[in-house]
Amino acid sequence: MLDSLDKEARLQLVKFVCSFAWADLVIT
């Protein structure tokens, strides 16, 4: 699945996951 994504899409996905994890850390 990830192979079908280009670099831009993968970068956006990584940013999204990181920001989500960071928000979760800040909240808890």
pLDDT, tens digit, 9 for 90 and up, residues 6-18:
999 999 999 999 9
- Rounded distance, CA 18 to CA 26, Å? 12
In this model, does residue 2 exceed pLDDT 80? no
pLDDT (0 to 100) of residue 19: 95
The predicted pLDDT at position 5 comes to: 72
Place of tokens 């989500």: 20
User: Given pLDDT bands bounded at 50, 70 and 90, which one contains residue 28?
Assistant: confident
| Alpha helical stretches, state H, 1-28 | 7-27
Which of 26, 24, 5 shows the shortest CA–CA distance to 14? 5
**C-alpha span between 8 and 1 (Å, rounded):** 15
Name 10's Cβ contacts closer than 8 Å, sequence gap at least 6. 2
Residue 26 has pLDDT above 80, yes or no: yes
